[in-house]
Amino acid sequence: MKIAFFSTQPYDRVFFDRENQDELFVYQFYETHLGPHIVRAVNDVDAVCVFVNDRVNREVIEVLASRQVKIVALRCAGFNNVELDAAREFGIAVCRVPAYSPEAVAEHAMAMLLTLNRKTHKAYNRVREQNFSLNGLLGFNLHGKTVGVVGTGKIGKAFCRLAKGFGCELLAFDIYEDAQIKELGVSYVDIDTLYRCSDVISLHCPLTLENKHMINRESIQKMKDDVVLLNTSRGRLIHTAAVIEGLKQHKIGGLALDVYEQEEKLFFKDLSGIIIEDDTIQRLMSFPNVLITAHQAFFTEEALTQIATTTLRNIEELLLGHEPSIDGARLV
């Protein structure tokens, strides 16, 4: 079973090699993104394995089909970057890793909130410079604050549990209500109430056609002054120009991003020493109350192991003509 991996990093090889001890699979690893620019190089493979920033649009799918590729295997949960209708039309199966470690992402979201609030990243550098002053490091207690969670699926639920542990009041918005979430003591409210009443808002819903730029000028104006926004879900949920305006107006008190609208050209690469042409991320990075990580919320030992195991199992089962045994793994 031959697989071409795109957007690979050294750690992908380590984890996928570890799960291929019996050499059932033959791998080709490419560092480049999959997209129209490179798809014609795909040859003699049964499956392509892609990640969050690969562009699997109609054009790419058509070429893959002409090269007898049978499967597009996402080694992530979100699938907003794949045109599923086109895959269906060209008879290519699409699978993903629906749940690898919701805790990995939820814990990173909480880590970002704690860092942003208590400024441990600044304190760490200060103390190393023998600056033991506390000026500028003031935070607030999370205990008793209202946290609004948008999307209470696997990651949102794990985040709710963590926030509960900190003694926060929890509000949630989802298009489906979940009984377990209610048992946790979380109250479902409409999105405007969540915007109006939350001190912290954390996004855990997938990116869809409907919710692109859900955080925009209008929604920001509905929020509390000094609101802290967390996005570990997908960059395009936030209209970046609007949050920059909100930060400049002192409306937004803190912003933690693990994902970014235009991350494709930046994230997962070492660009130190290179002039970055994206002025928007440069502006974001210039705010003292903005914390950015480069799509690393999933990046734990447990999650990478699970991603490799599930991806290979999906591919094997599909190539053998079976339905994937993991619930929600098959998209097309």
Do the beta carbons of residue 108 and residue 296 sit within 8 Å? Answer: yes
Q: Which residue of this chain has its Cβ atom nearest to ligand NAD in the complex?
A: 153
Region of 14-22, 58-66, 81-89, 170-178 interacting with ligand NAD (CB under 6 A) = 170-178
Beta carbons within 8 Å of 208's beta carbon, 6+ residues apart: 80
The beta strands (E) that lie in 26-65 are given as 26-29, 47-50
Residue 263 designated active-site: yes
Closer residue to ligand NAD (CB): 83 or 258: 258
Smallest separation, CB 172 to ligand NAD (Å):
9
β 93-95/146-150 pair status: unpaired
- Select 77 or 243, whichever has its Cβ closest to ligand NAD: 77
Place of tokens 């990116």: 207
Active-site residue, selected from the candidate residues 96, 204, 234, 236: 234
Q: Nearest distance from residue 19's CB to ligand NAD, in Å?
A: 19
CB nearer to ligand NAD: give 92 or 207.
207
In this chain, which of 33, 75, 96, 154 binds ligand NAD, going by CB under 6 A?
154
> 45 or 231: whose CB is closer to ligand NAD?
231
Evaluate whether 261 touches 213 at the Cβ level (below 8 Å): no
Task: Considering the complex, state which of residue 207 and residue 284 has its C-beta at the smaller distance from ligand NAD.
Answer: 207
Cα separation of the two ends of the chain: 20
User: What residues numbered 100-119 form the site for ligand NAD, per CB under 6 A?
Assistant: 102, 105
CB burial class (10 A; 0-12, 13-18, 19+) of residue 162?
Answer: middle
- Number of Cβ within a 10 Å radius of residue 127: 11
Site for ligand NAD in 178-207 (CB under 6 A): 204-207
CB of 176 to ligand NAD, least distance (A): 5
Taking alpha carbons only, the member of 291, 226, 219 closest to residue 259 is 291
- The per-residue b/e assignment along 235-248, b for 16 or more CB within 10 angstroms, e otherwise, is bbbbbbebbbebbe
78 vs 51: CA distance, rounded Å: 9
Q: Which of 150, 194, 244, 255 binds ligand NAD (CB under 6 A)?
A: 150
- x-or-dash string of contact with ligand NAD, 215-254, rule CB under 6 A: -----------------xxx--------------------
Q: Which of residues 25-84 bind ligand NAD (CB under 6 A)?
A: 77-78
Closest CA relative to residue 116, chosen from 196, 6, 231: 231
For residues 304, 272, 108, 252, the Cα torsion angle rounded to the nearest 10 degrees is: -150
Q: What kind and span of H or E run contains 59?
A: helix 58-66
Stretch that binds ligand NAD, among 28-36, 208-216, 267-275, 313-321 (CB under 6 A): 208-216
Count of chain residues binding ligand NAD (CB under 6 A): 31
Active-site residue flag, 129: no
Outline where 215-320 has alpha helix (H): 217-222, 240-248, 279-285, 301-319
25 or 173: whose CB is closer to ligand NAD? 173
CB of 127 to ligand NAD, least distance (A): 29
Comparing CB distances to ligand NAD, the nearer of 10 and 321 is: 10
Q: Does 295 bind ligand NAD (CB under 6 A)?
A: yes
Which residues are designated catalytic? 234, 263, 295
Which residues contact ligand NAD (rule: CB under 6 A)?
Answer: 77-78, 99, 102, 105, 150-156, 173-176, 204-208, 210-211, 232-234, 258-259, 295, 297-298
